[in-house]
């Protein structure tokens, strides 16, 4: 399928009764667009609403108000099964079926779509190669794989049906640092090759900046910053600066202040 853009239009979500009694607001008036073929990272601390917002795209969460559009289609007006067949979904610890082989896990969506056995085997081999795994793993079970291999299998499964949109929820959070870096490197190259519209949930700033074209920072269910990944480090936004400082434990100096300090230093040196 061709990549489709995603749009959030004044999306809010509140738990509780239909009348809002005893509820808790998790998302408030969120509006932004994810352009087709690009990667956007949803960044923020735990409880900021990242995963809740991500799940509105595949209708695992239904907004209390506002609209979510994939392409020009309002998610609420589309058949859920058809919607989810066009959306890949990768979660932490992969969600693989332990009783199924790698071949069946990766080919599950194709099997449900009625594809032939030969087509499924060929596609599974293609997907494993795409994520850097040998085809001789097809007969193994998830428990026979390393954490990194399982995550690659989960990604292969999400991409097997050639989705319009790929959703990734902390996909590498359970991996050790070295494996996580390897996975990030593989994923960035893969996303450039396949051109799938991708939304990535993470609280890891470096991961967001490495993988994404744009970054959306959430705080208490609201968007507090939205910008190109290349603009984050020089941002004047106080919440963005605070997030960077908390991540790196270093002082983040806005560009105009840094330039002024350097200018003062040069003047002092000249005198």
pLDDT digits (tens, 9 = 90+) for 45-68: 889 999 999 999 999 999 999 999
The pLDDT tens digits of the residues spanning 68-118 come to: 999 989 999 999 988 998 899 998 766 889 999 999 999 988 888 888 999
In three-state secondary structure terms, 11 is strand
The gap between the terminal CA atoms of the chain, to the nearest Å, is 66
Spatial separation of the C-alpha atoms in residues 125 and 135, rounded to whole Å: 5
Q: What is the pTM of this model?
A: 0.85
Closest by CA to 198, choosing from 157, 227, 169, 228, is 169
Angle at 110 (CA atoms; ends 106, 113), nearest 5 degrees: 150
Structure tokens at 40: 């956007």
1-78+169-176+192-231, CATH topology level: Rossmann fold (3.40.50)
What's the rounded Cα separation, in Å, for the pair 110 and 160? 8
Cα separation, 93 vs 241, whole angstroms: 31
Domain ranges of the chain: 1-78+169-176+192-231, 87-162, 233-271
Instruction: Give the per-residue pLDDT at 246.
Output: 83
């Amino acid at each position: 399928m061709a990549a489709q853009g995603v749009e959030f239009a004044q999306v809010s979500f509140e738990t509780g009764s239909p009348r809002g009694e005893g509820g808790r607001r998790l998302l408030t008036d969120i509006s932004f667009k994810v352009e087709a073929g690009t990667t956007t990272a949803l960044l923020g601390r735990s409880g900021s609403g990242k995963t809740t917002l991500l799940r509105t795209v595949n209708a695992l969460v239904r907004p209390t108000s506002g609209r979510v559009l994939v392409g020009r289609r309002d998610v609420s007006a589309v058949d859920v099964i058809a919607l989810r067949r066009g959306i890949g979904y990768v979660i932490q610890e992969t969600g693989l079926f332990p009783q199924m082989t790698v071949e069946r896990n990766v080919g599950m969506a194709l099997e449900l779509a009625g594809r032939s056995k030969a087509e499924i085997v060929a596609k599974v081999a293609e997907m494993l190669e795409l994520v850097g795994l040998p085809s001789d793993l097809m007969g193994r079970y998830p428990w026979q794989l390393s954490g990194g291999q399982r995550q690659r299998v989960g990604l292969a499964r999400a991409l097997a049906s050639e989705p319009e949109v790929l959703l990734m929820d902390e996909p590498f959070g359970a991996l050790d640092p070295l494996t996580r870096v390897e996975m990030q490197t593989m994923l960035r190259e893969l996303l450039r090759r396949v051109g799938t519209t991708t939304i990535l949930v993470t609280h890891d700033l470096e991961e967001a900046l490495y993988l994404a074209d744009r970054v959306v920072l959430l705080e208490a269910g609201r968007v507090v910053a939205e910008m190109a990944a290349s603009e984050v480090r020089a941002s004047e936004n106080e919440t963005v600066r605070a997030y960077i400082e908390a991540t790196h434990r270093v002082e983040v100096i806005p560009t105009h202040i840094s330039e002024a300090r350097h200018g003062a230093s040069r003047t002092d040196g000249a005198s």
